[in-house]
Amino acid sequence: MHENVHEVQTESRKDIRIERGMPLRSFELGLSGKADVVEFHKSPDSKTWVPFPVEYKRGKPKADDSDKVQICAQAMCLEEMLNIQILRGALFYSKIRRRFDVQFDENLREETKELAIQLHIFFEVGNTPKSVYTPKCKSCSFIDTCLPKVIERRISVKEYLCKEISKL
């Protein structure tokens, strides 16, 4: 699914122009990436195009706000790049074949900024937080990079040696 949406291409349908694989960046947030899809909707005055980011997800909606934060970060990147305000975007979940609108309110924007700050603190300190396996890991595209089940079982050298010596 992501291979299709990340192919850089443009498509037009009536009053909507669709950009796939659009590069994004924000100097303020210190983020860069690529949007799955950005729809540009023709405004009622027909003089401007309003961006509407759409993120494609393999699974179904999550209980937490992680997907909403991701699409909000994309919107904030677009806002900085285009010097405009974006009020909403959407999340499309392939498992249930449904699209949900997301409002970029102040609470979601603040949460997104805070998480970007935490990310940069991790980089500065050079500390990667320990991954913890949860059921949502099954549908994550980074499971083979993060290896939460392997990391979770890791024991210290001292514990390993004690365990092996006790077997003798």
pLDDT digits (tens, 9 = 90+) for 127-152: 777 778 888 787 777 888 887 877 66
pLDDT at 4: 55
Based on the domain organization, do 143 and 114 belong to the same domain?
no
Does residue 104 sit in the same domain as residue 80? yes
117 and 142 co-located in one domain: no
Q: Residue range 71-88: average pLDDT?
A: 97
Q: Are residues 38 and 67 in the same domain?
A: yes
- In this predicted model, what pLDDT tens digit does every residue of 87-97 receive, in sequence order? 999 999 998 99
Give the structural domain span for 45: 2-127
Note whether 104 and 158 are same-domain residues: no
104 and 165 together in one domain: no
- Residue 21 half-sphere exposure toward CB, CA atoms < 13 A: 11
Name which residue leads in pLDDT, 1 or 10. Answer: 10
Domain shared by 83 and 166, yes or no: no
Q: Assess whether 123 and 137 both reside in one domain.
A: no
- Phi/psi zone of residue 97: left (φ > 0), alpha (ψ -120 to 50 degrees), beta? left
Q: Enumerate residues 6+ apart whose C-beta is below 8 A from 36.
A: 2, 5, 6, 20, 21, 54, 55, 56
Average pLDDT of the residues in 117-121: 94
Q: How many residues appear in the chain? A: 168
Q: Tell me, yes or no, whether 9 and 61 share the same domain.
A: yes
Looking at residue 135, what DSSP letter applies? G
One domain, residues 122 and 135? no
pLDDT of residue 55: 96
Residues 70 and 153 in one domain: no
- Report the number of distinct structural domains present in the chain: 2
Q: What is the pLDDT of residue 78?
A: 98
3-state secondary structure of 12: strand
Q: pTM above the 0.85 mark? A: no
The Cβ of residue 25 has, within 10 Å, a number of other Cβ atoms equal to 13
Do 7 and 61 sit in the same domain of this protein? yes
